[in-house]
Amino acid sequence: MTRFGIIGGGLMGHGIAVALAQAGYRVGVFDADPAALAGLGERVGQALSRSATPPERAGAVADRIFTVDSLAVLAGQSDIVVEAVSERLAVKHEVLAALEPDIAVDTPVWTNTSVLSISEVAQPMLHPRRLVGVHWWNPPYLIPLVEIAPGADTEPGFVKQAHELITALGKTSVLLHRDVPGFIGNRLQFALVREALHLLDEGVCEPETIDTVVRASLGLRWSTVGPMENADYIGLDLTRAILTSLAPSLSGRTSAFPTLDRLLAHDQAGRAAGRGLLDWPAGQGDEVAARLEDGIRHNLRVR
Ligand SMILES: NC(=O)c1ccc[n+]([C@@H]2O[C@H](COP(=O)([O-])OP(=O)(O)OC[C@H]3O[C@@H](n4cnc5c(N)ncnc54)[C@H](O)[C@@H]3O)[C@@H](O)[C@H]2O)c1
Per-residue pLDDT of the chain (303 residues; tens, 9 = 90+): 899 999 999 999 999 999 999 999 999 999 999 999 999 999 999 999 888 788 899 999 999 999 999 999 999 999 999 999 999 999 999 999 999 999 999 999 999 999 999 999 999 999 999 999 999 999 999 999 999 999 999 999 999 999 999 999 999 999 999 999 999 999 999 999 999 999 999 999 999 999 999 999 999 999 999 999 999 999 999 999 999 999 999 999 999 999 999 999 999 999 999 999 999 999 999 999 989 988 999 999 865
Hey, which of 7, 12, 42 would you mutate to test ligand 1's pocket, going by the most ligand atoms within 8 Å of its Cβ?
12
Q: In this predicted structure, what is the pLDDT of residue 34? A: 97
Between the CA of 240 and the centroid of ligand 1 the distance, in Å, is 40
As a whole number of Å, the CA-based R_g of the chain is 21
Residue-wise pLDDT for 139-194, tens only, equals 999 999 999 999 999 999 999 999 999 999 999 999 999 999 999 999 999 999 99
Identity of the amino acid at 65:
I
What pLDDT was estimated at residue 53?
85
Question: What are the CA-CA distances from residue 151 to residues 95, 105, 131, 214, 235 (Å)?
Answer: 18, 17, 7, 33, 35
142 vs 145: CA distance, rounded Å: 9
How many whole angstroms separate alpha carbon 303 and alpha carbon 288?
22
Q: Report how far ligand 1's centroid is from the alpha carbon of 96 (Å).
A: 14
Domains of the chain: 3-175 (3.40.50.720), 185-302 (1.10.1040.10)
Residues 6+ apart with CB under 8 A from 278: 207, 208
Per-residue burial over 71-110, b if 16 or more Cβ lie within 10 Å, else e, is beebbeebbbbbbbbeeeeeebbebbeebbebbeeebbbb
How many Å lie between the centroid of ligand 1 and the Cα of residue 256? 26
Q: Choose the residue to mutate in 7, 18, 30, 85 for probing ligand 1, maximizing ligand atoms within 8 Å of C-beta.
A: 85
60 backbone dihedrals φ, ψ, rounded to 5°: -65, -40
Ligand 1: list residues with CB < 6 Å.
7-13, 31-33, 36, 84-87, 91, 94-95, 112-114, 135-138
∠ CA 180-181-186, nearest 5°, is: 110
| Ligand 1 atom nearest to 12, measured from its CA | 16
CA of 15 to the centre of ligand 1 (A): 11
Choose one of 16, 86, 146 to mutate for the ligand 1 pocket test, by most ligand atoms within 8 angstroms of C-beta.
Answer: 86
- The pLDDT, as a whole number, for residue 302 is 61
